[in-house]
Chain A
Amino acid sequence: MLMEQIERKELSPGWYILLYHDISWEENAFLRSIGGTCPPDVFRRHVKFVAGLGELVSIQEGQRRLIEKPIDKPLFSFWFDDGLSGVIKNALPVLEQAGTTGAVSICSCFVNRSEFFWRFKLSYLNSIDAMRFLRSRLKKHGFQPGNSVRTFTLDHFSPDIAGYIDELFTRFTTLHQRQDAYRMFMDSHAVKTLMSHGWVIANHTARHYPISLEHSLHLLGAEFNECEAAIELVCQSPSQYWVIPFDRKSSPKTVAIADSVRGDRYIVWVRDKVNTPGLCNAERMLYRIVAPIGSLQHFMDKLVKVNALSLP
């Protein structure tokens, strides 16, 4: 892994927004079953690598180029979902050294320490072999032996299911643990610090419920608005980007509902696509590419694949 010789392939012009979650040496029980944490050395190598493939730009600069002129080379930006504290600790200095900034999508309940991320609770329950208690509760919602709890809880998400997860999480943790677990998320002070360093603070809903899926679409407006109020309080300005959580099975209905409540903001998706003026400007949407965490070869292969699928 350490002496990789990667063939740098040429990528088409466009704005490549790379999506990460936490950048940390730590992957504790709340995170491990979910995955997606990127160690700082791997992130540093990604930044160095894409700097050699094109130009690193801030979100604001990428946006400006998308609107104002044709993009004539690959541009790269970095986006971090969920507001995890490794971003300020580890990603901020790396991007500062590279002369750029990023964007972070926050969930207001995590920043305010009022509700812990339900997927992290699941990860914790999995790590202590407590999933069997949850599976027995999910049976009445149609859970069958052999089903994946990970998928089932997304596809059938409801207040009842969130309640079971919380009940078990509370049962198997102490108050001290639950309070301590919030250290994984940035607080309002950290959000302000990132903002003062020129980072974009984006709205990722209040609780990171799967509001893009058919069964929870009714929550979409309220969840974004609640987070928006918190962002305005912390940042003294509204957010410019609404980032859809769990963008896995979003339907045209999701787009329509998001469109009806977003005002003049951009809606941000995952979708593994390159942003080009034609694709993004008319509908005021941005797309991100999930950065694969592993070998640089894997990373390059993903960029090439996305490039091939996105561009004519």
Chain B
Amino acid sequence: MTTVTKQGRKVKSDMIPSELTPGKIKLTGEGERTIVVFTGNQLRHDRFALRMQHEFGHRVIGWFQVQCEAGKGESGVEEALFADEVKVLRKGAHLKPVVVSDPDAHEVVDQVRELAPFFMVTLGGAIYSEPLLQCVRGVALNQHDGWCPEYKGANTVDWTFYHRDIAHLGNTVHILTSGMDAGPVVRRSSVCLVDNDTRESCFARVVALGTELMCEVVAEALEADEITVYDQPCGSGCTYLNHELTPEVIKAIDRDFQNGWLSFELSRVRRF
């Protein structure tokens, strides 16, 4: 639901994107509803793949880990948030990752085609090609660490901070298309933060939230004949590119954090 504030700013903060038009996608593929997971190679990505295995057991039939540079997310922060949980999850996992450098390479596409998964679920790693997506019998889903359609593309948690837009700090699970985070939205929600969070820990929490949303979406879709989706209107919101996150932008965000902006903001939204 959308309302307009006295200042004329649109406010949207639902768990489901009810400001967008709902539609249905039929899930018609025959056979068992199996899952293939594509991730990057950081701890948050491992947690994603391991949570999938924990939730869906042997329905998860493949885990492809795309080698990419460390980039976002600070390993110390991820260790602090996820290491204990991941240690436990690893003990119960039945799959180890197949490490690939290019998910769109012929041999990877062939392997996925052979597995013929019903779901392909992704967290980071790459933009996936059409031939790969065509190997999926049911639906391919991505978790994006940003609030769609407002914040698409790269570094969207940082851009949300840059715009001091805490209401839109969240994660979106959407249908994977060849456009950047542009596929129809399936579920979206906002993240739980604490006063002493840092820019990096906020990012890790947003990813953890998305992992849980993905588990919910897949759990619902496992037995369903159709799922409700919300098309992202063409041209809505912003798609941020990697190179746009300049040192000046990061400096501005860090300055806000040093000045206690997050703590102030959290107390502000709780004052009514």
Do B201 and A26 touch across chains, with their CB atoms under 8 A apart? no
Bound CA–CA A124/B16 (angstroms) = 13
Bound CA–CA A130/B4 (angstroms) = 9
A239-259, CB < 8 A from B: none
Q: How many whole Å from A194's CB to the nearest CB in chain B?
A: 18
Q: How many whole Å from B187's CB to the nearest CB in chain A?
A: 9
Among B13, B205, B208, contact of A29 (Cβ-Cβ < 8 Å): B13
Do B272 and A27 touch across chains, with their CB atoms under 8 A apart? no
Size of the chain A interface, CB-CB below 8 angstroms: 48
Bound CA–CA A119/B21 (angstroms) = 28
Among B3, B167, B196, B270, contact of A35 (Cβ-Cβ < 8 Å): B270
Do A97 and B270 touch across chains, with their CB atoms under 8 A apart? no
Q: Is A12 an interface residue (CB 8 A)?
A: no
* B189: A residues at CB distance < 8 A: 26, 28
Bound CA–CA A27/B196 (angstroms) = 16
B78-131, CB < 8 A from A: 80-82, 84-85, 88
How many contacting A-B pairs (Cβ < 8 A)? 128
Among A2, A24, A29, A148, contact of B201 (Cβ-Cβ < 8 Å): A2
Given the interface contacts A27-B192, A34-B270, A41-B80, does A129 sit within 8 Å of B5 by beta carbon? Answer: yes
Q: How many whole Å from A147's CB to the nearest CB in chain B?
A: 10
Q: Is B1 an interface residue (CB 8 A)?
A: yes
Among B11, B266, B270, contact of A129 (Cβ-Cβ < 8 Å): B11
Bound CA–CA A122/B272 (angstroms) = 9
Bound CA–CA A180/B227 (angstroms) = 14
Given the interface contacts A32-B269, A177-B16, does A127 sit within 8 Å of B167 by beta carbon? Answer: yes
Given the interface contacts A1-B194, A25-B191, does A32 sit within 8 Å of B270 by beta carbon? Answer: yes
Among B84, B192, B271, contact of A26 (Cβ-Cβ < 8 Å): B192
Residue of B nearest to A180 (CB): B16
Do B15 and A177 touch across chains, with their CB atoms under 8 A apart? yes
Among A25, A89, A295, contact of B192 (Cβ-Cβ < 8 Å): A25
Contact string against B for A residues 154-175, beta-carbon threshold 8 Å, 1 for contact and 0 otherwise: 0000000000000000001110
